[in-house]
Structure formats: C-alpha cells, structure tokens
A and B are shown apart, each in its own frame.
Chain A
C-alpha cells in the first residue's frame, strides 16, 4: 500500500513536470529576461521542449519494459500531451509573433522554406493524437484503430527532429539535432529488435 501511494505521488510529480518549462518561460517573460531577440528566444525554447518531451514520451515504454516498472506507463500519455502543448505554443508563437498573423507570409514560408514545411507536417501528424488522447475517443474508435492512429507519433517525431535539423543545418552546425536524431534512432531500433524477438 505504501509503495502504491509513493508511486502515485511520483506519477503526479512527473505529470506536473511537464509544466516546469512553461513556468520558466513565464518567469523569464515577466522579468524581461528573454534576451535581445525575445521572439526568436521563445520560438527556440518552445520548440526545444516539444522535441525533448516527444523523445521522453518515446522512452517510456522501453524504460517500463527494461526495468519492469509498469506503474510508469500512464506518464507516457501526459508527456505526449506535454510535447503537444509545447508544439502548439511553438506554432502560436510562429504565427502570431513571428509572422504577425499574415497569411500570405505564412503560405510563402511553408512553400519556400523546406524546414517550415517539415514542421507544419509534424504538427499535423501530432494533432489527431492529442485530440484522441481521452478515454472517450479511445472507446469510440476501438482499441485497434486507436492504437494504429497513435503510431503517428513515430513519423511525427521524426519530422519534428528533421525540422530542427534543417533549421540548424543552415547554420552549418548540426551537432545538436544529430544527437536528438541519434536518440530517436536508438529508441526505434530497440522497438524493432524487440519485435523481431517476439516473433
């Protein structure tokens, strides 16, 4: 009973951890501490946390299985929602602050800028996952279809990381995006190997 309570407590702590970056961002905004180019800063910040939380989401099931800690499984949903929250924030910052709600600019950007296209595609892949993250949607869809739909997290994450890679590669500096891509590939490899063994 005591372990169970502790585990529940830790789980809620982890759910809450999703909000920490947002609180840090808010604090930096309120204390006017976003640097000389605040719009660029909030874009980078929100995008970074969307990527990190996507990778954390994908790490939960390997962790659970490797260490047989099934009680951690529910955190996956909330990290996934956290990732989507920062992706949505990122998109809003882009549309409102960076593009000043100008539809012509945005369209031109999506068409002309390869990495903007990739980012938009990533968001569109992740959107249905967030919308169907509740129990009701799951019941309506049926577990099988629901699970199939949620496989979209893999291409969604991959495109999000590519979006960052092509943004960064323009600066001829791809160390950071390559680290994220390597983590992603590692997590995918683990899944393939496990699937192979199961057969």
Chain B
C-alpha cells in the first residue's frame, strides 16, 4: 500500500489540477538549509486538510490545494464583501460540504439550496485582487511552515519551549485577571451586542436577550480561569500548536515576502480562516458526537490567537525595533471586527441556528441511502456547490 491509498481513502478528492511545482518551491523556501525529510504530496480534496503522515518509516507532507483556494475565497469576502449575506452564503457551503463528507446528504442538499439562493450576491464583491492574492500566498506559506514546525519539534524535542510557553500563557491568561476589570457583566454585554447586531433582532428584544445571556454567563468567569489553567497545564498538544504558530510566523517573516506588518496581518486573518473551517467541520461533527463542543474549541482558539499576538509583538519590538505598535494593533482590531461581522458571526450565530434546526429533523438527518440515491443526491449537491 502507498501514501496515495491513504490520501484516496481519507479524502473526497475533487477532480481539479494541482500545482505541485508551486508547493515544492514553498517547501524549499521554508527549509532554510535545515535537513527536513518530508516528501510532498499535493492533493485537491473537499476535506481541505493539510497534515503530516508517516507510512512505512517515510514522512509525507500532504498539502491540500483546496485549502489555499478556500483562503483565496474567504480573503475575497474579507476585503471586498459589501454585506454579510455573502459570508453567510459561503458558510452555508462549508457546512453543506462537511455534511456531505459525513453522508448527511439530504441535509447537505438543504444547505446547497440556501447557497444557490444567496450566490448572486457574490457579484457584488469589490475587487481587491492584489491584496487577496498576497494574503492567500502568505497564509499558504504559514500553513506549510506550521506543519514543518511540528516536524522540527519532533526531531529536536524542545522541552524548553514548552516551559517558556506555559509561563507566557499563565502570565497573560491566568494571572492577568488579578490586574484587570473584566467582569461577568462586561462579558455578557459584549455578547448581547454582538448577538443583537448579527441576528438583526429588533431593539425591543434586547431585554429578553440580556436576561437569557446573564443566566448563561453566571459564574462563567471563575470557570473560564479554571479552564484556562487546565488547558495550559494539561494539554501538551495545545501548547505545541501555540509553539508551532510562533515558529511558523518567524519562518514566514524571515522570507521577506512582504513587510512584517503585512505578513502578520495576513497570518492573523489566516488564523481566523482556519478557525472558521474548523468550526464548520465541528458543527457537522457535533450532530452525532456531542463531545465536539464549539464553545471549547472557540475558547482554545482565542487563547491561541492571543498568544500569537503577544509573540509577534515581542518579535516586532526586539527584532524589528518597532517601538510604537498602537497604530498597527488598532488595524488588527479593525480586521478582527470586520472578519467577525462579515464572516465569523454569520457562521457562529445564523448558520449555527440553521444547523440546530436541521439536526432536529429526522428526514434531513438520514445517513443511510441506497447506492442510486447516493449518486443522485451527490450529483445535485456537487452541481450547487461547485
């Protein structure tokens, strides 16, 4: 058996050409003279998954070009979408495709129908081709660098890095609560504002939403601190992700493809893109497996993003001697707000409500079909999405 057998059984391959030369060149750029024995396999699959796989003592980096294409589409929406229906429409596609991968074909078709209805809005996206291409390229570099970082860590151990990261995270995410005024009330208010805006609830509902949210967040702050402490001390896999983000960021910065600010901005949006894909995947997985909670993932992801921010701030101050970062940090905050409004929140609130509704309808939750039905339904879904 070969790595191709693993790729073809673990992924739903799409019949699209791949550009292996491009990714070989990226991999070569990222080696920096270091010996890393990874064989590259480029694929184009519905799973949009990049990973390192070991078979018969050989290690392979499997890069999914569909991930890069998805970055391109999400960046197009991020830069140019004039309304949030476009982001929502793209989220319907992501959810529908994840349902298709789990053989929830009726449910997938349901989202494909939504997608088709909203698709005409895509024509309204304003062109920012230069920025979109540059950001997508930097994000692809980052994803590949991140995988290489896992490999470097497996070769070099890096126990010091684990300790330093643990200390940094404890300082910024646990000890910090002794010095700031974050209260349950402020957390609840920010959640309510976001929900009111995204769901377009009429103002007269605010009081009800506020009351329900207050009960949801009661005692939450203490839980949050305990959960954070546990994540930092007990989850080595999480620490490794944080460390690999840092190594990968420095690798991409070192290549000078763009200015340090542009590189960081692109990676920052890239991390949002990756989180979005993971949440869409979990929404489909959660239907059957209630352990895969999105809240827990979101919580982890926020800490990971904050660590990324702290790490590059240090790099900017020390390596690039940038003293005043306020203007740049404001720009990242604006990016964060725009991403949430146009892409993140439509998935987390609107699309999530639809997934919940769909998952309560037995007809849509059917997973067992006759072979002819499978073929027909997949044809219809593919026609709508691709």
Bound together: no
Chain A contact residues, CB within 8 Å of chain B: none
